[in-house]
């Protein structure tokens, strides 16, 4: 059972979470619990780190992790106390105590190994519920605290579920499942009963923040069935042996009725860069994208035209908005090697992505979108496609219009 930030936002909600846990324990289930920091706590900790440092180039990611991991320590302890108050035997665990071993990549560490044996044994021997601080781990060689990247408690939960060979990993959050698109933006979004790992992976990578991308990857690799559900449903109204509302993230084979389009994701967290009048000759793309890769900048959509005169062309691509300035600097530095005339960019862009396994066997899905957006005068700046998704880059001002248009177009709206 994993509970996200909004679900543990204050003491009343933590006590509410304790009732959810007690219900499952009383029903005879063996459970382990993972918690996030109280809503807003991690943002505050990140801000304090930023405010403490004026000379950015000496930023120490190990100390950043020591600070930001503390939010989860608080909730784990508080939930253990709230459980004890309900006569449920419980104890908190920090990442280093379990241990949850990770790589050394501070701020975005990967889980390498989790020892789940103690958790299982302690539950069997003394009915003790483990309340584990999400988002954090330890690098075994240096002994230092690491964190898994924002939203990382989802990944802690799936990794622990795999380690204790849980039947299911329940992700309790502030929505009652995975929707066809963000329900905060499109009120007519529909809850999905089931979604395939691959589709959820695309949805999460392309902007739907309901699950951290790595948690879905881990679920897929270890075949952990993930159930997304609401912590706001009253704990005592739920039948612990029944079928509560929620979305099962599972293997494709478990899904009977496959729609062509399953969901729509969007991200305003993009920036567009256009390199004008580069020579149309071998080696130019390497001269441009090589230095960006070395600087660890993720390049996403790439568009290059065939030149009409055989001499020069333009290359347009996108990077995460947070890397925009750095990318421009890297390219400017490599100007001589690349040999371009002008560098343009825009940060007021958004990427809209349409996802569905059914696209594998249906042609013309994207063409419908081009037509519908054209009718609403939404200009498309760049397009990429792959087997089960396509993405469109548009002006950020049209994000909601475009998402709503495509949501209706592919029959995803719930009945009014």
Question: What are the residues binding Mg ion (CB under 5 A)?
Answer: 4, 151
Q: Residue 314 phi/psi, 5° resolution?
A: -110, 145
Of 162 and 365, CB closest to ligand ASP: 162
In angstroms, rounded to a whole number, what is the distance separating the alpha carbons of residues 129 and 136?
Answer: 19
Window 2 to 61, contacts with ligand ADP (CB under 6 A): 4-7, 36
φ, ψ (nearest 5 deg) of residue 337? -70, -35
Q: Quick count: other Cβ atoms within 10 Å of Cβ 53?
A: 13
Q: Which stretch binds ligand ADP (CB under 6 A): 53-61, 81-89, 172-180, 370-378?
A: 172-180
Shortest Å, Cβ 294 to ligand ASP: 28
The closest alpha carbon to 250, from 183, 193, 180, 165, belongs to: 193
Cβ atoms within 10 A of the Cβ of 283, count?
A: 12
Using the CB atoms, write b or e for 76-100: b if 16+ within 10 Å.
Answer: bbbbbbbbeeeebebbbbbbbebbb
DSSP H helices in 224-323: 284-294
- Binding range to ligand ASP, per CB under 6 A, among 20-28, 35-43, 283-291, 297-305: 35-43
Q: Give the per-residue contact string, 47-86, with ligand ASP (x = CB under 6 A; - = no).
A: ------------------------x---------------
Note whether 412 binds ligand ADP by CB under 6 A. no
Q: Give the tokens for residue 259.
A: 């729609």
Q: Which of the choices ligand ADP, Mg ion, ligand ASP, none does residue 276 contact, using the CB cut-off of 5 to 8 A by kind?
A: none
From 59-67, 122-130, 202-210, 329-337, span contacting ligand ADP (CB under 6 A): 202-210
Over the window 121 to 160, marking each residue x when it contacts ligand ASP by CB under 6 A and - when it does not, the resulting string is -------------xx--------------xxxxx------
Which one, of 205, 274, 266, 299, lies nearest residue 398 by Cα? 266
Walk across the sheet containing 144-147 and list its strands: 111-114, 100-102, 136-139, 144-147
Which of 166, 208, 319, 392 touches ligand ADP (CB under 6 A)? Answer: 208
- Binding flag, residue 174, ligand ADP (CB under 6 A): yes
For ligand ADP, the binding residues (CB under 6 A) are 4-7, 36, 151, 173-175, 178-179, 181-184, 208-210, 263
For ligand ASP, the binding residues (CB under 6 A) are 4-5, 36-37, 42, 71, 134-135, 150-154
């Amino acid at each position: 059972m994993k509970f996200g930030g909004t679900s543990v936002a204050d003491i009343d909600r933590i006590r509410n979470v304790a009732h959810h846990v007690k219900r499952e324990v009383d029903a005879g289930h063996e459970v382990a619990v993972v918690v996030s920091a109280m809503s807003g706590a991690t943002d505050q900790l990140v801000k304090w780190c930023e405010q403490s440092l004026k000379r950015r180039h000496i930023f120490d990611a190990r100390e950043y992790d020591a600070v930001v991991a503390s939010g989860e320590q608080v909730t784990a302890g508080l939930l253990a106390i709230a459980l004890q108050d309900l006569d449920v035997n419980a104890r908190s665990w920090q990442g280093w105590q379990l241990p949850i071993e990770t790589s050394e990549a501070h701020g975005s560490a990967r889980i390498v190994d989790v020892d789940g044996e103690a958790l299982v044994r302690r539950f069997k021997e003394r009915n003790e519920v483990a309340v584990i601080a999400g988002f954090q781990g330890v690098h075994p060689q240096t002994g230092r605290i690491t964190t898994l990247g924002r939203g990382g408690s989802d990944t802690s939960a799936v990794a622990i579920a795999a380690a204790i060979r849980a039947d299911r990993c329940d992700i309790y959050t502030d929505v009652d499942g995975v929707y066809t698109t963000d329900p905060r933006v499109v009120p007519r979004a529909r809850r999905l009963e089931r979604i395939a790992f691959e589709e959820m992976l695309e949805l999460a990578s392309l902007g739907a923040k309901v699950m951290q991308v790595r948690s879905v990857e881990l679920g897929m690799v270890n075949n952990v069935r993930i159930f997304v559900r609401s912590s706001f449903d009253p704990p005592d109204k739920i039948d612990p042996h029944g079928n509560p509302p929620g979305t099962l993230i599972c293997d494709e084979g478990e899904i009977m009725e496959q729609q062509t389009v399953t969901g729509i994701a969007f991200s305003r967290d993009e920036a567009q860069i256009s390199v004008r009048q580069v020579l149309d000759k071998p080696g130019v793309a390497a001269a441009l994208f090589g230095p960006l890769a070395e600087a660890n900048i993720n390049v996403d959509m790439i568009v290059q035209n065939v030149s009409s005169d055989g001499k020069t062309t333009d290359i347009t691509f996108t990077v995460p908005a947070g890397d925009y300035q750095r990318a421009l600097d890297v390219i400017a530095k490599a100007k001589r090697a690349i040999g371009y005339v002008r560098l343009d960019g825009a940060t007021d862009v958004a990427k809209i992505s349409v996802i569905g396994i059914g696209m594998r066997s249906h042609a013309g899905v994207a063409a419908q979108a081009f037509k519908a957006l054209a009718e609403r005068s939404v200009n498309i700046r760049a397009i990429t496609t792959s087997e089960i998704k396509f993405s469109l880059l548009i002006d950020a001002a049209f994000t909601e219009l475009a998402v709503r248009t495509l949501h209706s177009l592919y029959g995803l709206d719930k009945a009014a």
